[in-house]
Structure 1
Amino acid sequence: MNTTTALLIFARTASEESKHKSFKASEAFFRYQNKKLLELAKTSGLDYFWVDESHQIGENFAQRYLNAIQFVFEKDYEQVISIGNDSPGLSLDQINQSVQLLKSRDMCFGPSQDGGFYLWGVKKAFFKKEEFQNFPWKTQNLLSVILTTLEQQSISVDYLQTLGDLDFREDAQHLLKNTKLSFTLKDILLQMINPKQNVLSLFQPHLKSKFTDVYYNKGSPKSCLIQTF
């Protein structure tokens, strides 16, 4: 077990996230994501900390996020890997890769398509909270500004694959192109695009051509209880 590296999940509860998103099915999306992240954390082999809105401290996003990382470092960890809950493509592979990258690099990033990042791995010796507060957080040039600054300071950096995230309703269409997403998540994304559509409609042309004479009854939807985080 890795006892020098901790995983930080910096994410609001699903109900709180939905208050900041204007699209349909946002609460269902973040409920699904939060459950998935908890499962990833438990199987990662790392100590992990979940910091939601009830434990975040600061007047703006930068302060709350950086304070959360500082909080974990104060628990005597040498490395922190932080992740959020808006990138469905995030898997255990990226977490494991970041652990390996930090063995030879000072930091690592998982870039997101909007110009930010979905994962940040950083060593304690290179975490400068006061300086990092001045970065242009929540903007599309965040990562490029960070990387320019780190290069000037000769801080070594490596990268994971770029993933898409979900900030707006339009992002759901792009995320649906990821064939590795689960059936449940694809259905949630489709509900964002068109509340009257469900994931089975993606397969209807194929089903009709192959089973034209077969009676198909999808039955009543089954209800399920997903814990809210």
Structure 2
Amino acid sequence: MKNTTAILVFLQDESKDASNKRLTPKNNIGANQWVFSKLNSFVKQVSAATQLPVFYSNQLISKSSKPFGIQLSEAIQLVFEQGFAKVICIGNDCLALNKAKLLEAAEKLNNSETVLGPDRRGGVYLLGVSKESFEPSTFENLAWQSGKMLQSYLNQYGNQQIEWLETLADIHTFEELKGYQHAKHLIAFLVQTIQQKYSSFQELSVFIFKLCTNSYHLLRAPPSI
């Protein structure tokens, strides 16, 4: 039986992510971009582990100066055009997101019009939408990328049947990344990769060292995704 739910991973250029969020202890663009490349790899791996169909926004829509809401709306509509009735949208900034949580979202979305995974900033780390109730013009004009995003969604779509996931933290700063205790597998992955690609990159070495200081227990064998 054909799967009617797909995952849409919204990915921006790593350079754009790196200019908006600083995930390294110093302002080193190269190191910051490298971290975002690892976050992108991480979210791709987690999505693939669900065995649900996965689409990437940067493969569906071309580079654009359009507002975030319009770009996301266009990508969602393109997934619907592929024959899917439900779309789960995620980004690369929630390290607690894993296979189990994505499958939970898919199950909830089978029996509802919307699934919301709220973050701690007034936004969402996951948004599941249904083709039947999707309204592009309304969706595009929500308070995207602000602390009012979730409330604006509820103001417009509060009459829908909504299922909720647990509240999780996303990451916008180095301090938030360093304190993310759920990220054992990602931290181990970063440490393993640094010697393969950036062994002479001093700034990135400092980043990894600071990230793992007083957190050596994070470097144990990573759990399954």
Which category describes the TM-score, using the shorter chain as reference length? 0.7 to 0.9
From the superposition, tell whether residues 171 and 198 of structure 1 become closer, same or farther in structure 2 (CA, over 3 Å). Answer: closer
Matches within 5 A, 1:29-178: 29-52=35-58, 55-57=62-64, 59-151=66-158, 154-175=159-180, 177-178=181-182
From the superposition, tell whether residues 116 and 125 of structure 1 become closer, same or farther in structure 2 (CA, over 3 Å). Answer: same
**What TM-score results when the alignment is normalised by the length of structure 1?**
0.75
Match of 2:12 in 1: 12
Amino acid in the other structure paired with 2:138: E
In the alignment, the residues of structure 2 paired with residue 48 and residue 203 of structure 1 have an alpha-carbon distance, to the nearest angstrom, of 33
Q: CA deviation at 1:93?
A: 1.2
From the superposition, tell whether residues 2 and 14 of structure 1 become closer, same or farther in structure 2 (CA, over 3 Å). Answer: farther
Q: CA deviation at 1:132?
A: 1.4
Amino acid in the other structure paired with 1:178: H
Point out where structure 2 has 5 or more consecutive residues left out of the alignment.
25-30, 194-202, 218-225
Q: CA deviation at 1:199?
A: 4.9
In the alignment, the residues of structure 2 paired with residue 73 and residue 57 of structure 1 have an alpha-carbon distance, to the nearest angstrom, of 21
Q: How many percent identity over aligned positions?
A: 25
Match of 1:197 in 2: 209
Match of 1:210 in 2: none
The structure 2 residue matched to 1:183, chosen from 173, 180, 187, is 187
Point out where structure 1 has 5 or more consecutive residues left out of the alignment.
207-229
**What TM-score results when the alignment is normalised by the length of structure 2?**
0.76
Residue pair 1:86, 1:165 contacting (<8 A) in 2 also: yes
Q: Indicate the structure with greater helix content.
A: 2
Larger Rg: 1
From the superposition, tell whether residues 159 and 203 of structure 1 become closer, same or farther in structure 2 (CA, over 3 Å). Answer: closer
Residue pair 1:17, 1:27 contacting (<8 A) in 2 also: yes
Aligned Cα root-mean-square deviation (Å): 2.8
Amino acid in the other structure paired with 1:20: N
